[in-house]
Amino acid sequence: MRTLTYFTATSLDGFIADPKGGFGDFLFEGDHMTALYEEYPDTLPAQAREAMGIDAENKTFDTILMGRATYQVPGGLPSPYPHLRQYVVSTRLTTTPDDVEVIADPLPKVRDLKQEPGLGIWLCGGGRLAATLLPEIDELILKIHPIVLGKGIPLFAGDFPTTRFTKATTRTFDTGVIFTTYTKTDA
């Protein structure tokens, strides 16, 4: 069975974006970016892959789930991750390109996707979708940036049960960014 991984950048105080949904305060240069390009090329949007000349095979993920607000982030493309199977969770969105499927009920869809063969399923965000999918999240990969934002879009937003995770790995970069992987603790 394949896994659902919430892979996201976060501030030290647990915000994945500023109050307007921007993430310009995060660091986009340095050794953590080199690791991202080399190890997680699947998580780069089409513009970044093109700009960096990256045409790598998917290594970790072959499927992405985005909340509507994440999909509609300003400057985003209509098909932002064409190298992945793309799903947008929305009850309102009506028009998307052929390679972006809209789903209204994410939990059963994720359970079905997990039964399929393939690479991992990437929960891209945002916080509202992550809160809904928390019962199905198997792994967190947090790119923790050395900044306190004070306010913004939370890592998880909404109602959700207390959920415990176990630290699997941690890597610290010269930039001060930390990649930490947590796996779901068995209940």
Ligand X SMILES: NC(=O)c1ccc[n+]([C@@H]2O[C@H](COP(=O)([O-])OP(=O)(O)OC[C@H]3O[C@@H](n4cnc5c(N)ncnc54)[C@H](OP(=O)(O)O)[C@@H]3O)[C@@H](O)[C@H]2O)c1
Which residues of the chain form contacts with ligand X (CB under 6 A)? Answer: 8-9, 16-17, 21, 23, 67-70, 73, 89-93, 104, 106, 124-129, 132, 153, 157
Give the residue nearest to ligand X (CB): 126
| Distance of closest approach, residue 156 Cβ to ligand X, in angstroms | 9
Give the residue with the Cβ less far from ligand X, 98 or 159: 159
Among residues 92 and 164, whose Cβ is nearest to ligand X?
A: 92
The pairing of beta strand 100-103 with beta strand 85-89? parallel
Closest approach of ligand X to the CB of residue 32, in Å: 13
Is 42 or 186 the residue whose CB approaches ligand X more closely?
Answer: 42
Shortest gap between Cβ of 15 and ligand X (angstroms)?
8
| Nearest-approach distance from CB 102 to ligand X, in angstroms | 9
Closer by beta carbon to ligand X, 16 or else 137: 16
Contact present, 56 and 78 (Cβ < 8 Å): no
